[in-house]
């Protein structure tokens, strides 16, 4: 591709941060598209996802990272940590997202991982809509800045879309002058097949209680564009035990039906065509610990 003008910039920006600080919400707000799945639970994001934002000024390639997890005993958590580390290497700018007026040991661990990278580090304080009292927030940030080296600090609300244009300008200014990598209509490097699995998983996260979502995963067995213009998608929801299967299916199949219709609605919006979605629930003991299975499901890069 050619350089559209002499100050056109393009590069990779990592969105790092402990689980639940709002990285995926921020990514979606920045690219103006509901790409990365969001839920009130930690560990919703399991994969490295590239979100692409193209403007007149340039193209920002955002990497939404799964948070770093401690105590990575299970294969799944180890795979998440690998994905998180590889996502923050080889970027042009690293953004650490935190929640307004909160800095925990986990934030500290993310910071320690970022400091190892010789790239500009921006601190983004998210959820400022929850912290109305400037008398608390400003001293908190001042104190943090004394002991942690950030090149810039930004205040945003990903949810209310506050402070985002300023952040975007700051990020672009730190990217190299180079032509775009992706076409201007592209929003992600991920396939529709991958996104379809994520949308089913999002519903599992939103609708199932406690630990159950972490014992499930989704595999797309078939993704076919039919001659009538409908995308036919067959998905398997893998669970670890029979009892979990019953819960996912629900009374008279009600839960599975609700999961399916919500996921289908999101797919139709994202894929801009009609979707026929068929779901199965299958038991596979210990899939969370099974490296081979995780590989097949795309967890390891």
> Binding site for GTP: residue ranges?
17-24, 64-68, 126-129
The residue among 106 and 240 lying less far from ligand GDP, judged by its C-beta, is 106
The tokens describing 187, both together, are 């929003």
Span near ligand GDP by CB under 6 A; candidates 51-59, 113-121, 122-130, 147-155: 122-130
Which of 4, 20, 57, 152 is the binder for ligand GDP (CB under 6 A)? Answer: 20
Q: Is 177 helix (H, G, I), strand (E, B) or coil?
A: strand
CB of 15 to Mg ion, least distance (A): 9
Burial of residue 9, with CB atoms counted within 10 A of its CB: 0-12 exposed, 13-18 middle, 19 or more buried: buried
**Given candidates 10, 25, 239, 266, which one binds ligand GDP under the rule CB under 6 A?**
25
Give the shortest CB-26-to-ligand GDP separation in angstroms. 7
Kindly write down the DSSP assignment for every residue of 108-149, as one continuous string.
HHHHHHHHTS-S-EEEEEE-GGG---HHHHHHHHHHHHHHS-
Residues in contact with Mg ion by the rule CB under 5 A:
23-24, 45
Phi-psi group of 216: left, alpha or beta (phi > 0 → left; psi -120 to 50 → alpha; rest → beta)? beta
Question: Where does this chain touch ligand GDP (CB under 6 A) — which range of 82-90, 134-142, 156-164, 217-225?
Answer: 156-164
Given its phi and psi angles, is residue 101 left (phi above 0), alpha (psi -120 to 50 degrees) or beta?
Answer: left
The span from the CA of 109 to the CA of 285, in Å, is 32
The least distance separating Mg ion from the CB of residue 24, rounded to whole angstroms, comes to: 3
Half-sphere exposure of residue 143: CA atoms within 13 angstroms, side-chain side: 9
Enumerate residues 6+ apart whose C-beta is below 8 A from 70.
106, 109
Among 54, 157, 217, 255, binds ligand GDP (CB under 6 A): 157
Task: Identify the residue among 8, 12, 13, 23 touching ligand GDP (CB under 6 A).
Answer: 23
Shortest distance, position 279 Cβ to Mg ion, whole Å: 23
Q: How many residues lie near ligand GDP (CB under 6 A)?
A: 20
- Which of ligand GDP, Mg ion, none does residue 297 bind to, with CB < 5 to 8 Å depending on kind? none
Question: Which partner, ligand GDP, Mg ion, none, binds residue 25 by CB below 5 to 8 Å per kind?
Answer: ligand GDP
Give the CA dihedral 190, 35, 173, 82, nearest 10 degrees. -60
Residues of each annotated binding site? 17-24, 64-68, 126-129
Which range, of 35-43, 85-93, 103-111, 269-277, touches ligand GDP by CB under 6 A? 35-43
CB of 58 to ligand GDP, least distance (A): 24
The answer to whether 238 and 284 have CB atoms below 8 angstroms apart is yes
Query: For the chain, what's the residue count?
Result: 301
Residue 80 contacts by C-beta under 8 Å, 6 or more apart in sequence?
Answer: 43, 46, 66, 67, 68, 69, 72, 299
Told to check if 158 binds ligand GDP by CB under 6 A, we report yes
Residue nearest to ligand GDP (CB): 22
- Note the residues at the interface with ligand GDP (CB under 6 A): 17, 19-25, 38-40, 44-45, 126-127, 129-130, 157-159
């Amino acid at each position: 591709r050619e350089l559209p003008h002499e100050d056109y910039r393009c590069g990779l920006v990592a969105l790092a941060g402990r689980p639940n600080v709002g990285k995926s919400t921020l990514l979606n707000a920045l690219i103006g598209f509901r790409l990365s799945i969001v839920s009130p639970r930690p560990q919703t994001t399991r994969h490295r996802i590239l979100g692409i934002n193209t403007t007149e000024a340039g193209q920002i390639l955002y990497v939404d990272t799964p948070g770093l997890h401690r105590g990575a005993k299970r294969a799944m958590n180890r795979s998440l940590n690998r994905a998180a580390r590889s996502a923050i290497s080889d970027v042009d700018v690293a953004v650490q997202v935190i929640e307004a007026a909160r800095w925990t040991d986990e934030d500290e661990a993310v910071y320690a991982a970022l400091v190892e990278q010789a790239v500009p580090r921006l601190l983004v304080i998210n959820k400022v809509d929850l912290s109305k009292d400037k008398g608390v927030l400003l001293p908190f940030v001042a104190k943090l800045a004394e002991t942690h080296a950030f090149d810039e600090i930004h205040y945003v609300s990903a949810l209310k879309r506050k402070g985002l244009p300023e952040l975007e300008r700051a990020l672009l200014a730190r990217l190299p002058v180079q032509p775009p990598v992706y076409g201007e209509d592209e929003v992600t490097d991920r396939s529709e097949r991958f996104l379809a699995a994520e949308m089913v998983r999002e519903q599992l996260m939103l609708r199932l209680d406690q630990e159950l979502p972490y014992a499930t995963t989704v595999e797309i067995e078939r993704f076919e564009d039919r001659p009538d213009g409908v995308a036919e998608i067959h998905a398997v929801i893998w669970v670890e035990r029979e009892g979990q299967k019953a819960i996912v299916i629900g009374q008279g199949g009600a839960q599975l039906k609700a999961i399916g219709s919500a996921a289908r609605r999101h797919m139709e919006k994202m894929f801009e065509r009609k979707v026929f979605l068929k779901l199965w629930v299958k038991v596979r003991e210990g899939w969370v610990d099974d490296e081979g299975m995780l590989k097949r499901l795309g967890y390891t890069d």
